Structure 1
Amino acid sequence: MNLRSLIVAVLVVLAGCVTPVRAPVTAPPVVVSQSTWQQVDREIVAASQSATEQAKIYSRGAMDYWRTRVYQLTEENFIPWFSSYWTQEWLSMKVSWYSLSATGEQDASAKRLAAYLLEQYQERVLAPVAVEIDPDAILGLATAFYVDILQEELQRISQRHGVPMAQLNGRIQKIPAIALGPPSARDASLYQVVHTQPLNTLPAYAALIDKIHKAGGDKGVDSTDTAMAPVAKRASKRIEAEMAPRGAASAVAAAAGKLAGGLISVA
């Protein structure tokens, strides 16, 4: 065999070893029947309801603990401070000053006293409790708990019915989860709630949190100022009644004298 024949033979052998390039195989799209979608929809609703109940159980337990700690610190820190002799003398002086500087506004002294007492309550009770457990944090954690549970359930639904996750995501984009509009930015689909990270960047979620705070009213976590108002009003009325016979100026001087440890007499 000459050299040319040998080269040709080698090339033939090598050509037989080369794997031909094949066109990529495209999987046919999964067709989901209408009956399957109906079952999937029912399971999505059930999964959302189950996740909601579990999130409620968590949030109720956490808020019960928060309320318990608030009651404890109210008894331990605020009430002893508020009922002490020197605090009452200090409050008398403040109410007297409030009365002197009032410009005819109704219940001006009570409102200003309520603001002062709320400041003290925040410092002595709410702030220390918030270091341990914060209502806003509870709300955020409960929502995150709901999202985690629902994400897991959606994965199971996808696998159980052979529905591609992309199609399932398209389905939940059509399911309203938050509906507070108009404007439309206050609305969000279930897909947005499940997939927005972090969730507090979703405008509709921020609007929902704001609505929850306002909906609490006199019983919500932001209601301390409302609850403090009648306490301050009663205290203000009592102090004003006590200082009425001698006048506001004399009451201020007397209270200041007691606080200073001396005696100032204003005739």
Structure 2
Amino acid sequence: MRWLRLLLGVLIMTLAACASDPVRVSSQTWRQVDAEIACASRAAEAQARQHALEAMGRWLVLVQRQTDEEFIPWFSGYWTQQWLGLRVSWYRLGSDDSVQRLAAYLQEEYQEQVLEPVAEDISPERIQRGATKIYVRQLDMRLQGIAARHGVPQRQFERRLQALPAIAGTPGASLHQLLRADPLERLPAYAALLERVRPVPGGDWSSDPGISLVAQRTSERLIGEMAAGGAASAIGAAVGGAAGTALSLGVGLFTAIVRSNDRPRSEAQLRLSLQATLEQESQALLRSRERGVLAGVWQLSGQIERSLGRPFDYRP
């Protein structure tokens, strides 16, 4: 028993000595670890970007299809043109910016008829959230094994991750917190980040040259039709009887024929303008570091790389 107690005492002393004298990792090794973390971040960013590119391509195809199947026929329809004519008349009573106001109204309809239905399946906001999650998952996967490759105790590696800010500001979060959050949305700093960078597709159409041109031509045509219709009604009232009615019907029929003949050109112009606007919007959503589909990824990767460039206390 005495020998057993002595052996146990020696074992406890040995363990205490090991605990008080942990593995010391050199500054050179830590620099190599940091370099690998940076490489892992860039590789994860590339994976997220590939996902965003493919998803935005699918979003664009669906939006263009919905435009051709729903919005273009609606715009060219007889009753829509009648309704637009009434709106243009109302706009002109209040101000002279009927073109801009018509463009804004068309944008509201486009949001309701095209963007919102497509968003039930896919949207820039969903793409952004998906890309950001892919970045975090890929980064977590690529960080596995770095500590073992460099002989760094896992506890010290975790401490390094805790010292790296991944999300700046208030609330902020370390890289360790970001990787361990499950689900990610429950991390206050992550939720706040997504809110800051949330994409807002569909800018102001009134400043878009193509859409403004369509609105201008539509407005001018509707104003001309209303003027002709008003003159015909006045003459018809003066003439009276069957002749006056025939005159009004004749002008209405002529207007319908003109619209029918003008419809292919009007549809083609609107389709080209919308296609150009959508392609510009898609590229803007891919490039924007503030509100684009990769904004969350760039915010995280940029903060992590900036944090890796700061001095760090490498003591265990």
- TM class by shorter chain equals 0.5 to 0.7
Q: Give matches, 1:59-208, under 5 Å.
A: 59-100=52-93, 102=94, 104=95, 107=97, 109-178=98-167, 184-185=169-170, 188-200=173-185, 201-203=187-189, 206-207=192-193
For CA contacts below 8 A with separation 6 or more, give which structure has more relative contact order.
2
Between the aligned partners of 1:191 and 1:116, the Cα distance in structure 2 is 48
| Displacement of 1:170 | 2.1
Between the aligned partners of 2:223 and 2:129, the Cα distance in structure 1 is 48
Aligned partner (choices 19, 37, 40) of residue 30 of structure 2: 37
Q: Deviations 1:188-225 (Å, cap 9, x if unpaired)?
A: 54334333444444446634663463xxxxxxx51354
The 3 A distance-change label for structure 1 pair 169 and 154 is same
Between the aligned partners of 1:89 and 1:51, the Cα distance in structure 2 is 53
Contact 2:125–2:198, Cα closer than 8 Å, also in 1: no
| Displacement of 1:127 | 1.8
Gaps of 5+ in 1: 1-15, 214-220, 255-261
Amino acid in structure 2 at the alignment position of 1:137: R
Secondary structure at 1:185's aligned position in 2? Answer: coil
Q: Deviations 1:74-110 (Å, cap 9, x if unpaired)?
A: 112111211223212211111111222x2x4x62x33
Corresponding residue pairs, total: 225
Contact 1:114–1:228, Cα closer than 8 Å, also in 2: no
Secondary structure at 1:45's aligned position in 2? Answer: helix
Relative to the length of structure 2, the TM-score reads 0.59
Larger Rg: 1
Secondary structure at 2:82's aligned position in 1? Answer: helix
Contact 1:30–1:164, Cα closer than 8 Å, also in 2: yes
Between the aligned partners of 2:116 and 2:226, the Cα distance in structure 1 is 39
The 3 A distance-change label for structure 1 pair 136 and 212 is closer
Contact 2:167–2:189, Cα closer than 8 Å, also in 1: no
Between the aligned partners of 2:222 and 2:121, the Cα distance in structure 1 is 41
Q: Structure 1 vs Structure 2: percent identity of aligned residues?
A: 43
When the two chains are superposed, the root-mean-square deviation of aligned CA atoms in Å is: 3.8
Between the aligned partners of 2:206 and 2:180, the Cα distance in structure 1 is 39
Gaps of 5+ in 2: 235-247, 250-316
The 3 A distance-change label for structure 1 pair 89 and 113 is same
